[in-house]
């Protein structure tokens, strides 16, 4: 590597010569932890992203500044990526008809018309 005439005083202080040219290593990447962020007490913790770390302690220390350096944070959770389980993407069709199951929805139950018809029929005084 030729002498660098950097404008960056930080770069000038680095011992660049100590590092040899050539390919850099690709065998030292750490495992990932999935990070969940709870903004406020009482709210859900929401998946925020991942951090590379070697232990849960370190993942938490890393997650704090990766996902909690702005705004409010009440809690951060981490879990090893390999310990998250999910249904296969092609099984999403199991949920396809769920929105049609209206008997589970509040909007399915409408009795106002019936009450009004009854009131008319039986002369219950209207409010």
Partner 1 sequence: MEATKELLYKMADDALIIGHRNSEWTGIGPMLEEDLAFSSMAQDKIGHAFALYNILHTAFGEADPDTLAFKRSEKDFRSAQFLELPIGEYDFSLIRHFLFDHAEHLRYDSLAQSTFQPLAQLAKKVKGEIKYHVMHADTFLKQLGKGSEESHARLQSAINYSWPYALGVFEPGAHEAELISTGTFIGEEALKDLWLARVTPIIEAAGFSVPATTQEQVVYGGRKGFHSEHLASLLAEMTEVTNIDIDAEW
Partner 2 sequence: MYGNAYISPEDAKRMNESTDDAENLEIFEARITRGEKIEPGDWMPAEYRKQLIRMIEQHAHSEIVGALPEGTWITRAPNFRRKLALIAKVQDEIGHGQLLYSAAETLGKTREQMLADLISGKSKYSNVFNYPALTWADVAVIGFLVDGAAIVNQVINQKGSYGPYCRALERICYEESFHLKQGHDNFVYLATGSPKQRAMLQEAVNRWYRPLLHFFGPSDRDSQHSEKLMKWKIKLASNDDMRNQFLDQYIPKIWELGLTLPDPELKRNDNGIWEFGDPDWAEFKRVISGDGPCNAERLEVRRYAEEAGRWVRTALMNKDERYVVPLA
Q: Rule CB under 8 A: choose which of 40, 44, 57, 82 binds partner 2.
A: 82
Q: By CB under 8 A, what part of segment 90-109 binds partner 2?
A: 90
Contact, 1 vs 17, CB < 8 A? yes
Select from partner 2, partner 1, none the partner in contact with residue 64, using the beta carbon and a kind-dependent cut-off of 5 to 8 Å. Answer: partner 1
Our measurement of the distance from residue 106's CA atom to the centroid of its chain's CA atoms, rounded to an integer in Å, reads: 29
> Using CA atoms, how far apart are residues 92 and 89, in angstroms rounded to an integer?
6
> Vertex 33, ends 32 and 34: CA angle to 5°?
120
- Hey, which residues between 22 and 81 contact partner 2 (CB under 8 A)? 23-32, 34, 49-55, 58, 66, 69-70, 80-81
CA separation for the pair 46, 81 (Å, rounded): 15
Q: How many CB atoms lie within 10 A of CB 23?
A: 5
Of 90, 82, 98, 84, the closest CA to residue 47 belongs to 84
Q: Considering the complex, state which of residue 25 and residue 123 has its C-beta at the smaller distance from partner 2.
A: 25
Nearer residue to partner 1 within complex by CB, 29 or 114: 29
The site for partner 2, by CB under 8 A, has a size of 45
Reading the block at residue 75, the tokens are: 């809690």
Q: CB 116 → partner 2: shortest distance, Å? A: 41
The residues of the shown chain that bind partner 1, judged by CB under 8 A, are 9-10, 13-15, 30, 51-55, 57-58, 61-62, 64-66, 69
The residues of the shown chain that bind partner 2, judged by CB under 8 A, are 1-2, 4, 6-11, 14, 16, 18-21, 23-32, 34, 49-55, 58, 66, 69-70, 80-82, 84, 86, 88-90
């Amino acid at each position: 590597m030729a002498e660098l005439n950097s404008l960056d005083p930080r770069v000038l202080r680095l011992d660049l010569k100590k590092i040899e040219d050539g390919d850099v290593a690709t065998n030292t990447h750490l495992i990932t932890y999935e990070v969940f962020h709870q903004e406020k007490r009482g709210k859900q913790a929401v998946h925020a992203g991942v951090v590379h770390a070697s232990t849960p302690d370190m993942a938490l220390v890393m997650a704090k500044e990766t996902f909690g350096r702005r705004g409010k944070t009440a809690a951060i959770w981490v879990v090893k990526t390999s310990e998250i389980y999910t249904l296969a993407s092609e099984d999403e069709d199991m949920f396809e008809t769920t929105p049609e199951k209206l008997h589970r929805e509040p909007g399915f139950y409408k009795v106002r018309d019936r009450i009004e018809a009854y009131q008319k029929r039986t002369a219950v005084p209207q409010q």
